[in-house]
Amino acid sequence: MLTVETRHAVHPAAAKAMDTAALRQNFLGSGLFQSGEIRLIYTHYDRMVVGGVVPGDTPLTLDHVAEAGTASFLDRRELGVVNIGGPGRVSADGTAHEMARGDVLYLPMGSGPVTFAGDGRFFLASAPAHATHSARLIPLAEAKTLNLGAAETANKRRINQFIHPLVMPSCQLVLGYTQFEAGSVWNTMPCHTHDRRMEAYLYFDMKPETRILHLMGEPSETRHLVVANEEAAISPPWSIHSGCGTGEYSFIWCMAGDNVDYTDMDMVAMEDLR
């Protein structure tokens, strides 16, 4: 079963007037991981698509998605897949990729139908593409890692870069995930914006009672979302994207836009936040 929800772009002036329900309707992705289903969110921010796939007992195939306007979803798109579940298999273009928990798979434009099987819980991120690169399965050991933050500021973390210029080429999709040391709960703080790219987060590895206070909005007009396990936050280019958890968590980050430069960001001073 395939479900696609469309999210339109929101002007920052409109976001200032939104109540909690409107903010969640426009910027929170919930219920993405349902057994036997493919659930996608098609955003009008750089045409990014994010979603979840849980094969369950029967393999699921991602092929025609009407919102993409092509015969097959990857005819003019590239795709990143992150397995946050048990062992699974993703097959495309005649190759079956065995994915362990934490593995990332890149599939280029023109890969054709994609079939998901096994016990995996697959997070998807897709952006329009203009060229074909090589498919690649990237285990955690092959990721580029950055160790940032400190225990004193409760943000000691490891950033794992997978679909990234230092690891492998892509058209515009950049993707990885961040893991925290015990006792560290703050992510992406001090915060930033990047007007040339949108970004989306998927929070995972959380206990049922844990919540993330995900900060968004313009630096001078911040808002927040209360996010549960395996929920996504969609960040417009004009918005900060930062958060603090009530317990342990990890998060996947994915970006699309004008470039693939991970450091292309406009830092926001703490004293400028409102």
Comparing C-alpha atoms, which of 127, 191, 121 is closest to residue 155? 191
Tell me whether residue 199 is annotated as binding: yes
Give the 3-state secondary structure of residue 235: strand
Check the annotation: does 8 bind a ligand: no
Q: Is 66 helix (H, G, I), strand (E, B) or coil?
A: helix
Round to whole Å and give the CA distance between 75 and 71. Answer: 7
- Classify the C-alpha dihedral 255-21-54-230 as positive or negative: positive
Token look-up 């939104």 returns: 18
* Widest pairwise Cα distance in the chain: 53
CB-based burial of residue 57 (10 Å sphere; 0-12 exposed, 13-18 middle, 19+ buried)? Answer: exposed
140: left (phi over 0), alpha (psi -120 to 50) or beta: alpha
Nearest to 67 by CA among 49, 93, 46: 49
174: which 2 tokens?
């950049």
Annotated binding-site residue? 97: no
Residue 214 annotated in ligand binding: no
- Residue 148 Cα distances to 104, 158, 190, angstroms: 22, 6, 12
| Binding residue numbers | 192, 194, 199, 241
| Binding residue numbers for Zn(2+) | 192, 194, 199, 241
